[in-house]
Every structure is written in structure tokens, then in C-alpha cells.
Chains A and B, each alone.
Chain A
Amino acid sequence: MPSADLIWTIVGFVLTLLILSHIIGDNPLFRIVTYLFVGVASGAVAVIAIYQVIWPKLILPILRGDYLTIIPLVLSLLLVAKLFPRYSAAGNFTMAYLVGAGAAVAVGGAVMGTLISQSRALITPFDLSSAVQSGSPVMQIVEGAFILIGTLATLFYFQFSAKVQANQSVKRPAFVETAGKLGQGFIAVTFGALLAGVFGSAIAALVERLAFLLTAFRF
């Protein structure tokens, strides 16, 4: 009797081949597998959400006497009304709660986590004390300048405020236009690096799948 592992391995193997068949072209088997994937994925998410969120956070506290949990429970029931178009307006309160909380978290994280830190990182290379400790202060400063210029140029590239010129043409200021051009270069390089990284991940996935296919039945 084949073990369960073998069966699951075979299942994985077959599914892998069916998906890789898309290299040749779209086919019904590929579509079947994709629909299967969506169904399995949605089922898994539903199970995990019930087991990991709804039960321990909404139902279990009430059973334990934490009646303050009724508030999120009521909000959750209102959220279910979103499934019915006639009563979907009732779920707006829950959505507003989630949106408000998410906006606040995003604002706080953007400010405390990125803006301040990254801005500090822009000027840190110019700290001569730290530059001396690095062993190559010039390179540090040069790198710092390079990064600073690149960062600012990138930000200037996304600056689209312009003025109406005398000849009725809309143009950005010359400094902004020049910095934008420079930032365009930095963005191109960055996107190239990103694409290379995507290639790397995809190739890594290909390598892993081929390795799976090669080693699946090597017990």
C-alpha cells in the first residue's frame, strides 16, 4: 500500500507537470489545476481564519467571561451584512473601523519607521565621526552623497507640480526638471535590479521544481 507521502508526492508531481505544461501553451488541464488551486487555497484560508482568529479572539473570550469582546463580535456580524446588497450598508461601520485603524497604523509606521529613519540614514554618512570610524571617510561621504543625490533625484522625479509658462506650456522648474532626469536614471537602475531579483526568484522556483521532479521518487 503506497504511503500517504507517496500519494501526496505523486499529487504534487502531477500538479507540477500540469502547471509546467503551460510552457507549451494554455490547455484545459492547466485551467483545471488553477481552479483546484483556488479552491484549496480558499479552503485553507477559511480554516485558518476560523481556527486562528474567529474562535480564539471572538468566541472563546466570551465563553471565558470577557464580555467586552461583544463589541468586535457585533462588528463582525455587521461585517457579514456586506454579503447582502440590501443590507451591505450595515457593514460600513466595521469597514470604517478597519480603515481608520489601518490608516493610523500606516501613518505611524510611515513616519516612525521609514521617513525618520531613512532621512536620518541619508545624512548619517556625512557624520564625520562615524566616517572616521569606518576607515574610509571619503568613500563614506562619497557614498553618502551619491545616495543622497540619488534619493533626492528619485523624489524629484515623482514631483509633478508645474507652472504655466508664458508661452502657455506647462513645465516644471529647470532644477526640478534636471533632478527628475537624474532620478529617472536611478529609478531605471533600481528597477533593473528589481527585475533581476524577480528573475532570480523565478529561476530559483524553476530550479526547485525541477529538483523536486528529479528527486520526488528518490526515496
Chain B
Amino acid sequence: MADIRCSHCLTLNSAGSETCKNCGRPLLDESAGWLDNLRDGSDSSAWSEPETNAKAGDDAQPAEEIPDWLQRIRQRSQEEQGQPQPFESADQAEDALPDWLQNLTPASSTEPSAETEDTGDANWLQSLRGAEQPSALEADAPGEPLDAGTADETPDWLRNMQNWQEDTQAQGAVPAAEQPIDEFAQPASEPLASPQEEDQDWLAKLAAQTGSALPVEDAGADWLANLEGGGESSAVVPPIQPSGVTDWLGKLDEGDEAEKEAAPAAEPPFNLPEETTSGSAFSWESEPSAAESAAAPENESIDWLHEFQHQEAPAQEPALEAQAPEEPEPVNAAADIPNWLGSLATQEPQETIPAEGMGEPSGEAFELPAQEGMPDWLQNYTPAETPAPAEEPILPISEEPQEETFSWQSLGMSAAESAPAAEEATEAAPFAASDLPEWLGQSGSSTPQYAFDQDLIPPAEPASQLQPATPFAQTGLPDWLDESGLALPAPEATGDEQLTEGSDENLEAADLPSWLQSMRPIEMVAPKAVSAEEKKTEKAGPLAGLSGVLPSEDLIGQYIKPPLYSVKLRVSEKQRVHASLIESLISEESQPQTVSAERSEAPQRVLRFLVAAILILAVLLPMLNFLPALPAASILPQELIAFETTLSDEAVLPRGSAVLLALEYEPGLSGEMQTASEAVIRQLAENDTRLTVISTSPTGPILAESLLAKAGVDPAFVVNLGYLAGGSTGLQSFGLAPVQAAPATLQGQLAPWNSGTLAGVTRLSDFSAVVVLTDDPDKGRNWVEQVQPALGGKPLLMVSSAQAAPLLLPYYNSGQVQGILSGITGAAGYEALTQSIGTASLLRGSYQYGMLLTALLILLGSLITGIITSISRSKAEKEA
């Protein structure tokens, strides 16, 4: 079983619930029931949950399409009354009685349920009246008699009214102020009397509540009967027989003709609460239920109601049309429009209803024009202040009127908005004399009085497309009749020109409250011309029927081709050259480079071994006397001769003189140096020379000990001063102050300067000579540079290796060194000069053979290599 929507707050309640869980009011099961029946075949999404305006727009149907619910209503009415389908065309709609009137018959009520009908009708009436304005019930008695239409088409609400009327009659005239609203919510247990009786009942009740001696029964029956008296329309309201009601209705009939042209604003027969006009949950307003709920008039039809019958009912448009502030339905002047209705029609359609504050009083007080035949209650009725009129007419949402089920979302209002609105509306008691509902105040304006977003409201149909106006459908009709979207034909009041003008084209702007106006976007306020795109109606797709939709199809075809930018680089000539360079470099990297095959090292090793073997043999053979030694050299170098001369000069080196011996060679060349200096040391030793040994090499003192021992020098005549650190700095220090520079000996004892072996020696110049044994030309140079100036003319002699001699000769040539003995050759020559035999003489042969072999090997190798190179080069040149 479907959920039940509360007619007041539109809250969905579970099936079977009797009271609304939100507002606590009884649920209009009956009304919801017959509404559900209407809704069964249609999309009920409008009621199930809030919808967006788009969806509301989606649901919009072209004007030519009749919504299902309307069709169903018509069908029912047809079934009940056997009348043809009404309002299939505009012309027919104009002529036919409005559906709501046609269907206002008790028999037309669908799924009558005594219980539900009572509660349902009572609820809508409650919602119409408003809980806080019970006086409204008193003032505005539900006087309009329901047209006694077809009994079976009497809507539930009407039936409930009848019941209520009966009840009130039974209970007596009860002031409306005292009567709680709940009176309308009569327990469902009350048996539903006949529709006519029901109508009379509720009317009576209304009259009792309003406090006026309204012949509720009569009034209700009268107007209802009048409504039904059209005969054509099956939507006839069941007659209600409240006496008070019928009187004023009767009076209205009398004044109908007089006030026909005045096109008064339609005044509702009862003071409906404001929220009802705002589209509350009252189903009767939202649904085109008027067409269906019109009860069959039981009483005699009122003339003005008859006039409504003749008027073309407005097209059986969906409720959405009516709710949109579209072009109001053409108000065809009803010939028999009652004065009160006509007076209502003349009201300024400038009043708008705030979105939520349906109960907000407006600044304007609606005053019904004095009408003859207007019931007193109606004359005394001062509507509540209507809200400030809107500054601009409400713009339609789309061009197509909305024929689907009424949806508050299409009005730009959500259920939540409508709920408080409904609540506020309930506050206002219906038929309150002091506070005329907005719908009443806004009579004459066929535009919806809701302060909803104008854009969401589909554009109103042109007047020609509208169904013929029916009573209460035009501006002269009460708002609740207009806003329900009923395709009610406009009243046939010919004098209702204002309604005619304002209904079609000049939509009256809703009177929005100030706070809502401030929220409105500027674009909404500023009038904007409808562009061609906006006028364009979507013809296919889910947005079919809507206008102003982004033309997707066109967009696809209208896409702008993006500008093509050339990806070609602008390269200058210089950059091109550089790029080609880089490219060539990169390509070279990728090109495999020919790797020359590695040569085997075996030949090299063999050659190396061969060379070593030859050398070793050349050295060993003479040593082993396998090769005869070469004769001694007869031509000796000058430096050697000078060395020998100096060293053997007793004037230079007297016997027992002190000679400084500097061992400046490394252990690697100790063999050559020992060989070369052995003879010199021997000669010095033979001369009883006191030798003072010093070395700037750490291993020098050690080597000196070995040399001296090998030379057979008496250690008593030797002072080993040890190691002199610092290199040239130490030599400089030794040259300046040898005592301070070399304080200790190798043995760790204090050097015996000026005593012992070093007797009389405190400076370098005290030495008779300085003999430097060096294998390094730099060390020899240091001695020459640092020490020789401090010798004071004393000879500086050098015993050098063969490798140091070339660089020490300039010092000999310059006179800084008095003699140089170099290598084994020099030692051998020295030995020859001194006619001694030493190691040098023994090793001279090996040395000579070694040197000669080396020279020979170098010469041969160079020649062979040169020849091979030249041959290969010539071959390469020939090949090239």
C-alpha cells in the first residue's frame, strides 16, 4: 500500500498511519486516496520526493498532450456522467463546464470511503482554514454551495463538507472561533451521509464556525447546486444545504448579473487558509481534482455557477500549468459570475505570496468591492494583508505548460518550504474575517502568488491555447482555484478585462517579500530578452519540450576547430649548424669503434727475459773471468783528475785534518756509491784524516757505518753526527752553526765539538774539506748552495753516481766544486790514479760490458724499430 502524504506538510507517512508524523495532523487518507488514484497512472514522483525544476520541466508536456491524470479524471467523469471527454481541445474546454465543477458530484468521488472521505475532506478544509484562524471559519462560511453535480463524482472533500455541514447542523451553530479546526477532521467513524448531505454538513459547520447565521446547509447546497447546475459538467459539487450558505449564495445570484462585467475577483466561498493558496498539501488545489472533485450539484445551481458552466473551462491542463505563473487562463467573462467573484477579479493582480510565509500579511489589505448580493460575511471580510507585489511578473519556466501532476518543485518550492508554508497556512483559520487569505487578497490575479523562482515556472500558454475559462479559474477566481493548476475556464465575466489582460501576456509579478527579493539574482530581476536559443525548444531527448536548453546537437556541430600551431621549430642557420654538429657527435657515439686486437704479452716477456739474460751474462762473464776485462781508460775526465789532485794535496788536506764526509745517497745505489767512494775513504783513512760523517738522509748514518767498516777506517777517527733533518734548511742551519745543528751523534752521545775527533772544529770552515757522497743531483746542489758559501774557500769535493754527474758538472765548471768522481768508471780511474786496487777495478769490466751491451741494445733496437716504422709508414703511404 502506498505511503500517505500529509496534505499539510507534504510529509510522506507510512501506509496505515492516521496522523502525520511531522505535523501531527490527521492524514487525509481519503483525499490522498482519491489523489493516489489520480496519480496511479501518472508519474507520482512529483509527490514522492522533492523534485528539481528540471524534472518538473522534464515532466512538462506540450500543451497539446493531456496528462494521464487529467485523462483519468475525465474518464471518470465520463463514466459517471456519460459525458464526452472534456477539454480535448481548447474550444471544447471553453464551452464545457470546468472539470472541477463537472466532477463535483458525490458519485464522482473515487473510492469513496466513508471514513476516509470524512477525514480527508475535513483535513483539506482544515488546511484551508488554518488552525489559528478559527474565526475565519466564522467569517467566511463555506457558503458556496456545492453544485449538486453528479453524486458519484462528488469529491471527497466535498462529501466531507457535507458531512460537516450535517454535523454542524446537528450540533448547532457553533461559532467558528470556538470550533476547533479539528472539527473538520471528523472521525472517520462518522458515516458519510449522502453527498448532498455531506456538503450541507460542512457548509453548515463552516457557517457555524464563522458565527454568521449562515444557512450552511442551504448555502452549501445552493452554491454547490449552482455549481452542478450547469448540467454539462459532471464535476458538480454535491449540494450542501446549509441555510445560511444558501442565502448568500442566493443573494449572489441576484447580484450576478449586475456584477457580471465587473469581473470581480473571485472570492472563495470560504476563507481558505493562506497556505492553501500557496500550494499546500491540500490535494484539492494541487491536483486538477476540481475537475474530478466537483460534486454533483444537488441543490439548485446558482446562476453564477451556471455562468461558469457556460464558460469554457480552461484547458484541462495539468496542475503544473496552473501553478506556474504562466499566462493566466483566459478569463472568459462568465455571464453569471457572482458579484463577489467579480469583485475579486478586479483586484490588483499585483500581490504576491511569499514563498514560505504564506501567512505573512501584506501591506495591502484586500477589500472586496461592495457587491450587491454579497453575503455579509463576505462583505465584512477584510483579507489579510497581502504581501508586497512582486516587481516583475513571474517568468515561466518553459514555454510548454506543465500538464503533468502538480509539483511544488516546479514552482521553485520544495516540500520543506511548502511544509512550513503549510504549517503557517494552517495557522490562519479559514474564513477568518480579519485576515483575508492571500488567495483572496490576490484575487483578480491569475498568477500564482507564490514567491518562487520565476524562471522555474514554465511560461504560460497563450490565451488562445488555454482552455476556456471556467468559473474560479481566472483572475476573478480565488487564488486557490487558480493556483491549483486547474484548467479552469476563466469566468465568463465579460467585464473581466483585467483578468483577460493579465492572464495571458502580462504576468503579474509575485509579491515577493523583501528578504526573498534580496536573494534573487540580478539576472532574475533584470529583464532579459528571450534569445532565440532560449526560445528554441528541445525536441528530442530527455529534455524534450524544454526551452532554453543548451543545444547539445548544435554544440557538437558548432565546435570551433582549435587553432593549429605549427610544431615546426624556427631554427636559424647557426642553430642548424650546431644541431648537425651534435647529431654527428651522437652518431659517432653509436658507431662501433674498431677495437684493435690486444697483442699477446708473451713476446714481450720473452724479449724482456732475453734482455735480462744478456745483461746478466755480460755482467757475470767478466766477473767470472769468462770475458777479458777491457783495459783501463787512459783518458780521464778533468773533474776526476781535479778530485784526485785536491784530495791528495797535502796542502789542502794535511795529515790528520778533519774532513766532513756527507753521505747523501740512498740504499738503492749504495753498491755503486760504496764502490766509487771506497777508494776515497781508504785514501783519507791512510792520511789519518778525522772523518765527521753527517747525512740528510735517515739511513745515511747507517750506510756510513757500513762504508767506513768496509773501507777499514778506524772508528776512533770517525764521528758520526747522524741524521740532519730539514733538507736544505738543515744544511743552512748546519752551515751557520754546525754545533747547534748537530749536537748529538748516532750513538746518542753529545757530539765532541771542538774536542776529540772534532778538535778545533766549531764551524764548517774548520773542516779541511767537505766530501759529499751523493747519488742525487739535488742533494749535491743543496750542498753547493747552502754549505759551500760557509766553507770559506775550503774544497768541496763530490763523489757522485753516474746519474748525478751531468748535473753536477756545471758546479765543477763554475768552480764551486773542486772535483767530481762519478760512478764506477770514475772510481776505477781514481784507483788508477792512486794506483790502488779496489772493488771498482774488479767490477769495471762487468760495468763496461754492461754499459756497452746496453748501448748496443739501444742502438740495435732503435734501428730495428725505426726500420720497421719506416717500412710500415711507406706501406701506409703506398696504400693511401
Binding site for B on A (CB under 8 A): 23-25, 41, 44-45, 48-49, 51-53, 55-57, 98, 101-102, 105-106, 108-110, 112-114, 117-118, 120-121, 124, 147, 190, 193-194, 196-201, 203-212, 214
Contacts and interface: CB of A to CB of B under 8 A. Distances in A.
A210 B847 contact: no
A113 B816 CA distance: 9
Given A44-B699, A113-B789, A207-B619, A53 B728 contact: no
A208 B675 contact: yes
Given A105-B728, A206-B619, A207-B850, A200 B814 contact: no
A205 B789 contact: no
B729 interface: yes
For B722, B801, B802, the residue with the greatest tally of chain A CB atoms inside 10 Å of its CB is B802
A18 B674 CA distance: 23
B864 to A, nearest CB: 19
A42 B674 CA distance: 23
Nearest to B740: A57
B505 interface: no
Contacts of B784: 113-114
Contacts of A108: 732
B789 A201 contact: no
Nearest to A147: B813
Given A204-B847, A211-B843, A118 B698 contact: no
A112 B824 contact: no
A210 B801 CA distance: 18
Given A105-B732, A118-B810, 12 more contacts: A49-B698, A52-B744, A102-B729, A121-B813, A147-B813, A198-B802, A199-B802, A199-B851, A200-B824, A206-B850, A208-B674, A210-B846
B850 to A, nearest CB: 4
Interface in B345-378: none
23 contacts: A44-B702, A48-B722, A49-B723, A49-B725, A52-B725, A52-B746, A55-B748, A193-B806, A194-B806, A197-B804, A201-B803, A201-B823, A203-B619, A203-B847, A203-B850, A203-B851, A204-B801, A204-B824, A205-B668, A205-B672, A206-B850, A210-B616, A210-B623
B805 interface: yes
Q: Is the interface of B mostly helix, strand, loop or mixed?
A: helix
A10 to B, nearest CB: 18
Given A57-B743, A102-B728, A118-B810, A204 B802 contact: yes
A50 to B, nearest CB: 10
Interface stretch (B152-160, B242-250, B604-612): B604-612
Contacts of A201: 669, 672, 775, 801-803, 823
Given A121-B814, A200-B851, A205-B669, A53 B802 contact: no
Given A52-B746, A56-B743, A201-B672, A109 B802 contact: no
Interface of B: 605, 608-609, 612, 615-616, 619-620, 623-624, 668-669, 671-672, 674-675, 698-699, 701-702, 722-723, 725, 727-729, 732, 743-744, 746, 748, 775, 781-782, 784-786, 788-789, 801-807, 810-811, 813-816, 822-825, 842-843, 846-847, 850-851, 854
Contacts of A110: 785
A200 B823 contact: yes
Contacts of B620: 210, 214
B802 A197 contact: yes
Nearest to A213: B620
Contacts of A124: 814
B814 A118 contact: yes
A190 B699 contact: no
A101 B816 CA distance: 24
A102 B746 CA distance: 25
A210 B623 CA distance: 9
A61 to B, nearest CB: 9
Contacts of A194: 803, 806-807
Contacts of A112: 785, 789
B609 A24 contact: yes
A6 B746 CA distance: 25
Contacts of B810: 118, 121
A23 B608 contact: yes
A110 B786 CA distance: 9
A192 to B, nearest CB: 9
Given A44-B699, A48-B701, A52-B744, A204 B672 contact: yes
Given A204-B847, A210-B619, A113 B785 contact: yes
Contacts of B698: 44-45, 48-49, 52
A23 B846 CA distance: 19
Nearest to A37: B667
Nearest to B822: A197
A98 B815 CA distance: 31
In order of increasing CB-CB distance, the 7 nearest A-B pairs are: A113-B785, A208-B671, A200-B802, A109-B785, A121-B814, A204-B672, A197-B803
B204 to A, nearest CB: 113
Contacts of A211: 623, 842-843, 846
Contact of A204 (B671, B748, B804): B671
Contacts of A118: 810, 814
A209 B816 CA distance: 34
B466 to A, nearest CB: 101
A203 B722 contact: no
B743 A52 contact: no
Contact of A208 (B612, B746, B815, B843): B843
A193 to B, nearest CB: 4
A127 to B, nearest CB: 12
Contacts of A49: 698, 723, 725
Q: Which of A101, A117, A118 has the most CB of B within 10 A?
A: A117
Contacts of B843: 204, 207-208, 211
A208 B665 CA distance: 16
B814 A120 contact: yes
B744 A56 contact: yes
Contact of A207 (B699, B781, B786, B846): B846
A73 B220 CA distance: 133
A197 to B, nearest CB: 4
A111 B846 CA distance: 42
A186 to B, nearest CB: 12
B803 A198 contact: yes
B728 A109 contact: yes
Contacts of A204: 669, 671-672, 675, 801-802, 823-824, 843, 847
Contacts of A55: 744, 748
Contacts of B616: 206, 210
A135 B746 CA distance: 49
Contacts of A44: 698-699, 702
B723 A105 contact: no
A118 B668 CA distance: 31
A106 B668 CA distance: 27
A57 B807 CA distance: 34
Given A109-B732, A109-B786, A197-B802, A53 B619 contact: no
B795 to A, nearest CB: 15
A189 to B, nearest CB: 10
Given A48-B722, A208-B672, A200 B732 contact: no
Given A44-B702, A51-B748, A23 B612 contact: yes
